[in-house]
Every structure is written in C-alpha cells, then in structure tokens.
Structure 1
Amino acid sequence: MTLAGNCEIAVNGTLMQGLELNINLQAVGAVFIIEAITAPIYRLWSIDDRHPAMMRVSADGRSIALEIWSLPLAGLAKILQQEPAGLCIGKIKLADNSEVLGVLGEPFLCEGQREITEFGGWRNYIAILSEL
C-alpha cells in the first residue's frame, strides 16, 4: 500500500535492510513494506562484488529476491543521485504479476562482470562471499 505523496520502489542490493546503503533510504524517510521476489524473467550480476545489477531478459530468467519500500516522491530523485553509475529505475515485474518501480542495471555495467543469478539474490551471494 502506497502512502499519499509516496511511491514504492523495489531494491535488490545494497539498499536492502541492514546493508551498506540502506541508510540512504532511511535518510529520505522510506518505510520498509515487504520482502518479495520478481517474476522469473531477470538475471543478476555482481559489479566488482560491491553491488548487484539486475536486468530483465527475454530467455533463461530467474526470480530474484528484493525488498519493496515506500518513500516520498522527492526522496526518489535523491536515492537515484546516490546510486552508482549504470544503475537506473525501471518497472520490475513481481512474482504476483504486479509491477513496481525498481533498481535495474544497464547492459554496459554487466559486461565482463560475474553473473550471480544462480544465488537468487544479493544477500545469498554476499553470504557465500563471507564464507570464503
């Protein structure tokens, strides 16, 4: 449910609860709504093990774990300005076939990077990294 004057955004990486850039969401008054998964039409890459980039694909996609947040419309621009180059906002299709704005990666950003789709999400991937 979106609050008046707010929008919803799906995040799939360092903006998630307890992770490095979640403070950026909190700083603009964002409120966590729910954990969710995408429809099985996305792939995920690790960008130098610093953050992920998710792209919608036409074949061989999988579901990716993410979080849905509600934030003031003015906060959306601030969040975007703080995101690394190559990340952008687009429509993300969720497993229940609804759509929400969310963070996606541009194709150039993923070139030559490690694909991590098999992990199902950024949290699972960084958990494996911490065990190495």
Structure 2
Amino acid sequence: MHVSPDAVPTMAFDWGAIKWFVTPSTVQGATGTFGEVIINPGQGHARHNHPDAEEIIYVISGEAVQMVDDGEPFPIKEGDTVHIPAGAYHSTFNATWRPLRLIVTYTPGGEEKALEAAPDLRVHGAGSVARWRQA
C-alpha cells in the first residue's frame, strides 16, 4: 500500500503537527503506527507515557532535548534514534530556532488515538495546509 502525505489529515497542536501514515484504524491489517512529527521552535510535548506500547523516535532533522523514563535529559539530533519502552515517561523539547522533524512509531499501534483528546488539537483535512499564528 502507498500512502502520500497529501492523502492523510494533519493533526495540528500549539507545539507542532503530526501526520499518521499507517495506523491500525486507517490501514487494514496494520498492527503498528508510523508517522511524521514536527515540533516547532521553542516548543515540545509534556511528560507522558504510553502504558501499552513502545515508541521509537528517529530524528530526520533538527535538534532537541529528550527525556526517557524520568532520566536525565539528553540532546538528540539528525540521525539519532531513541527507544522508549512501554510505560516509560518521556518528553521531547525543541530548544532551537529550527523545526524538529521526527519519524515516530508505536508498537503495537493505536496510541495515537490518545491525541484526539488534546484540548489544542485541530485537524486539517487531507491535502490542506496547517497554519500557525504568532502569539
């Protein structure tokens, strides 16, 4: 199956955006989740966990500070991979002026559904472009 970024909706948040290309609810037979996450400069996501799924983060471009399992935060940059065990609390913060682009997977898939409850979620339909306002 082929999935184009223009064929899936964009989940936009105050901190950035996500496009889920493969999820168990959108691709028949899929058991994992695969998507691209963009974290805007000076933004990040708060400490959270996925009780029933491991997460893998691959940095496409940019730099950030990553925390895993309430450990000491460490820098990540282009080409780095971070494994987050199921249930481990973690956070990612982009302290630079450039957007941070990540590939994110959940195994098993389905954890992306939790984001639908985020108070700042705005969904942009497939083919549309999310726009951010400056504060």
Which structure has the highest helix share of the two?
1
Higher relative strand content: 2
Q: TM-score, normalised by structure 1?
A: 0.34
TM-score (norm 2): 0.34
